Amino acid sequence: MRTALFIACMVSMAASVSAQNIDTLFYGDAPFLYKDPYGWGYVAGTNHYKDIGKYERFDMFDAADIVGTKIFMAMKRIVGTPDSITIVFKRTGYGADNFIPTQGGPGKTVASIKTTTAAFDTTKKGTVFMLPTPFQVVGELFNPDSIFVGIEWQTTADDTFALAVDDTAIAPRGENRDRAWEQLTGMSYKYQRFNEPGDFSWLLNADIWIACLYRVTTSGLERDKNAIPVEHLLLRNYPNPFNPSTTFKLNMPEASKVRMSIFDVTGREVERLIDQKLERGAFSVHWRANNLSSGIYLCRAIVGNKVVSRQVVLLK
């Protein structure tokens, strides 16, 4: 008969993170330590299959800065020198690396933290890891920006460890969202879901106990890698009118310092969107006007010694 690893569930995770104004996205319900049913090891850790990565997907419905993670290690047994662990933050990727190429899985790593097995707490408190440099996601209400947060290790690791996973014996978990993923070795592909319809799947509909720490922002900047920059400065946005978010497209014919701001009808600057040097290219600037009232606003970009502006209408 299985025994739950933890008696109490986590309470108020965000309160345990010392940084101000940081929110927590977490899908876990009831934690459990799942042993590998086919050999030595664990489902969400080291096992006889020589898995080398475990990840949880997070669907972000707001523009936000990803600032870190909180990881709940259920058990660890260190042999000699603690093994190296890399905490990774990945964009969504498609293609041959996934068991089903059209299924979005862990893709390009955009941030990482180097640590060892010694750093992880196993007393149900969880361990917080903060990124030295946050990165942005630009999710919207009906168009989430999904990222994967997880741990990776080498096949030569001799420590034994495992993350907590929802206990599916208490009640169905995971909401059929397939957020738990893993990285395999010895296969023609790298990534698959815990609940993948295949011969080498755990067939487990549950979430891994990993939390994503983020700070909601009202603006986000990203480069449009596939766009062809034009030879003149251009600023436009869509939608317009909007509620509550719109995206500005800024074409940069050459590298320059950029200051982009939003002004109300009195000429008061209500928000600074960009204040940095940008390279030549095309950029998207996402703006959410959650705290502003309906009305006409002016977006003005000072690029070097040139000025471009765009009138926008917020309708709530």
Location of structure tokens 């502006």: 309
Contacts of 152 (CB under 8 A, 6+ apart): 52, 53, 85, 86, 88, 183
183 shares a domain with 241: no
Whether residue 7 is contained in a domain is answered as no
Burial of 233 (0-12, 13-18, 19+ CB in 10 A): middle
Q: What mean pLDDT is predicted for residues 37-46?
A: 96
Provide the pLDDT for residue 229.
Answer: 63
Q: What mean pLDDT is predicted for residues 143-149?
A: 92
Whether residue 101 is contained in a domain is answered as yes
Q: How many whole angstroms separate alpha carbon 252 and alpha carbon 250?
A: 6
| Chain segment 206-260, per-residue pLDDT in tens | 999 999 999 877 667 777 777 666 677 889 999 999 998 899 999 888 889 999 9
Residue 279, pLDDT > 80, answer yes
CATH number at residue 298: 2.60.40.1930
Name the β-bridge partners of 297. 312
Whether residue 132 is contained in a domain is answered as yes
Query: Across the chain, what does the average pLDDT equal?
Result: 88
Residue 34, pLDDT > 60, answer yes
Domain edge (last residue) among 184, 216, 248: 216
| Chain segment 249-277, per-residue pLDDT in tens | 998 888 899 999 999 999 999 988 888 88
Vertex 87: Cα angle to 83 and 91 (nearest 5): 145
Instruction: Copy the structure tokens of residue 251.
Output: 């074409």
Contact 224/236 with Cβ under 8 angstroms? no
Range with top average pLDDT, 135-139, 159-163, 234-238, 281-285:
159-163
Provide the pLDDT for residue 209.
Answer: 97
Q: What is the CA radius of gyration of the chain?
A: 22
Whether residue 123 is contained in a domain is answered as yes
223 shares a domain with 95: no
Provide the pLDDT for residue 218.
Answer: 66
- pTM, two decimals, is 0.71
Residue 284, pLDDT > 70, answer yes
pLDDT band at 188 (very low <50, low <70, confident <90, very high): very high
163 shares a domain with 29: yes
280 shares a domain with 212: no
Residue 1, pLDDT > 70, answer no
How many structural domains comprise the chain? 2
Range with top average pLDDT, 85-99, 129-143, 204-218, 278-292:
85-99
Torsion of CA 174, 178, 179, 180, to 10 degrees: 90
Whether residue 40 is contained in a domain is answered as yes
264 shares a domain with 158: no
Residue 8, pLDDT > 80, answer no
Contact 197/259 with Cβ under 8 angstroms? no
Q: How many whole angstroms separate alpha carbon 87 and alpha carbon 92?
A: 16
Lowest mean pLDDT segment, chosen from 70-79, 91-100, 149-158, 172-181:
172-181
Whether residue 151 is contained in a domain is answered as yes
Q: How many whole angstroms separate alpha carbon 11 and alpha carbon 125?
A: 10
Provide the pLDDT for residue 276.
Answer: 86
Residue 12, pLDDT > 50, answer no
Instruction: Copy the structure tokens of residue 49.
Output: 């299959």
Residue 200, pLDDT > 60, answer yes
| Chain segment 42-64, per-residue pLDDT in tens | 999 999 999 999 999 999 987 78
192 shares a domain with 46: yes
143 shares a domain with 236: no
Domain edge (last residue) among 168, 184, 216: 216
pLDDT band at 3 (very low <50, low <70, confident <90, very high): very low
Residue 299, pLDDT > 90, answer yes
Q: What mean pLDDT is predicted for residues 91-113?
A: 95
Name the β-bridge partners of 55. 150, 181
Percent share of the chain, pLDDT over 70:
91
Which domain, by its residues, includes 253? 219-314
Residue 11, pLDDT > 50, answer no
229 shares a domain with 175: no
Domain edge (last residue) among 216, 246, 278: 216
pLDDT band at 80 (very low <50, low <70, confident <90, very high): very high
Whether residue 8 is contained in a domain is answered as no
Torsion of CA 195, 196, 201, 206, to 10 degrees: -10
- 225: alpha, beta or left, given left = phi > 0 and alpha = psi -120 to 50? alpha
Query: What CA–CA distances, in Å, run from 281 to 118, 217, 222, 223, 227?
Result: 44, 24, 11, 7, 8
Contact 100/94 with Cβ under 8 angstroms? no
Q: How many whole angstroms separate alpha carbon 49 and alpha carbon 54?
A: 13
Whether residue 164 is contained in a domain is answered as yes
